Amino acid sequence: MRFTDKICLVTGGTSGIGRATCLRLGREGGTVVVLGRDRADGVETVRLVTKAGGKAVFMACDLARPRAIAATVKKVLAKYHHLDVLVADAAMMTFDPLVDLPLPKWDELMLVNLRSLVQLAQLCLPHMRRGSAIVAISSVHAHQTTANVVPYATSKGGLEALVRGLSIELDRRQTRINAVAPGAVDTPMLWSNPNVKSGQEKIDKASVGTPDELAAAIAFLASAEASFVHGTTLVVDGGRLAQL
């Protein structure tokens, strides 16, 4: 029970890796604030956490809207007064060649994948207790990528640089920040990816991870067991990046 009495905020808690993370943190004693766009999916996550014996609430928030982020964090702090864990999991992808990419799409993706983490860090850090942790979800695309996903790969590369840089600015006893870079994981994001559907991005079905396997790594970095781990990215990809 590594998260007893801890307040844990999880963006993208409405599906996939985010939902699995909510379940794990909740099962291990955390009070989970499920942040997401879709109320029905968020309520379902709350139901699953509660069924597993945990505590959770849903708060609606579109991460492409900075004002909504500010209002939601205000609500969270009014209710709980402090935070112990922030998991920045939500992200979106685009699939245009860069030369054809409408710039508003670039802006939206950066808002969701990168700026929201900056804003959440600014709003949450002053209220994060001693021994707290931020875990940001990157991707193997920060390291090797395919065509037509430049904005996504750029956002994840930026996220990892942000994590490294911010870790230097933080009081290490107060809050740690780290990233997890998943490989292919069995979630809606993987199977709805047109590059995966077309076979341009090759996925060996035997090397697809489960959301639970990612949640285990995220929970480790969020817990006191990772007290000496700062500013790093843990690649959790079933060995995909190791192969030529």
Ligand X SMILES: NC(=O)c1ccc[n+]([C@@H]2O[C@H](COP(=O)([O-])OP(=O)(O)OC[C@H]3O[C@@H](n4cnc5c(N)ncnc54)[C@H](O)[C@@H]3O)[C@@H](O)[C@H]2O)c1
User: Which residues are known to be catalytic?
Assistant: 152
Task: Decide: is 155 part of the binding site for ligand X (CB under 6 A).
Answer: no
Q: How many CA atoms lie within 13 A of 48 on its CB side?
A: 18
Identify any residues that bridge with 83 across adjacent strands, giving them in sequence order. 128
Site for ligand X in 47-76 (CB under 6 A): 62-64
Task: Decide: is 37 part of the binding site for ligand X (CB under 6 A).
Answer: yes
CB of 115 to ligand X, least distance (A): 11
CB of 171 to ligand X, least distance (A): 27
DSSP one-letter code for 91: -
Task: Decide: is 190 part of the binding site for ligand X (CB under 6 A).
Answer: yes
Task: Decide: is 139 part of the binding site for ligand X (CB under 6 A).
Answer: yes
Task: Decide: is 123 part of the binding site for ligand X (CB under 6 A).
Answer: no
- Three-class SS of 211-225: HHHHHHHHHHHHCHH
Task: Decide: is 184 part of the binding site for ligand X (CB under 6 A).
Answer: yes
**Residues written for the chain:** 244
Rg (CA), the chain: 17
DSSP one-letter code for 111: I
Site for ligand X in 93-112 (CB under 6 A): 112
Interacting residue with ligand X among 8, 14, 76, 120 (CB under 6 A): 14
CA 14, CA 69: separation in Å to the nearest integer?
16
CB of 35 to ligand X, least distance (A): 7
Interacting residue with ligand X among 31, 45, 187, 233 (CB under 6 A): 187
Interacting residue with ligand X among 18, 30, 151, 231 (CB under 6 A): 18
Kindly tell me the burial class for residue 104, based on how many C-beta atoms sit within 10 Å of its own C-beta (0-12, 13-18, 19 or more): exposed
Task: Decide: is 182 part of the binding site for ligand X (CB under 6 A).
Answer: yes
Q: How many CB atoms lie within 10 A of CB 97?
A: 10
CA 52, CA 27: separation in Å to the nearest integer?
6
Applying CB under 6 A, the residues found at the interface with ligand X are 12, 14-18, 36-38, 62-64, 89-92, 112, 137, 139, 182, 184-185, 187-190
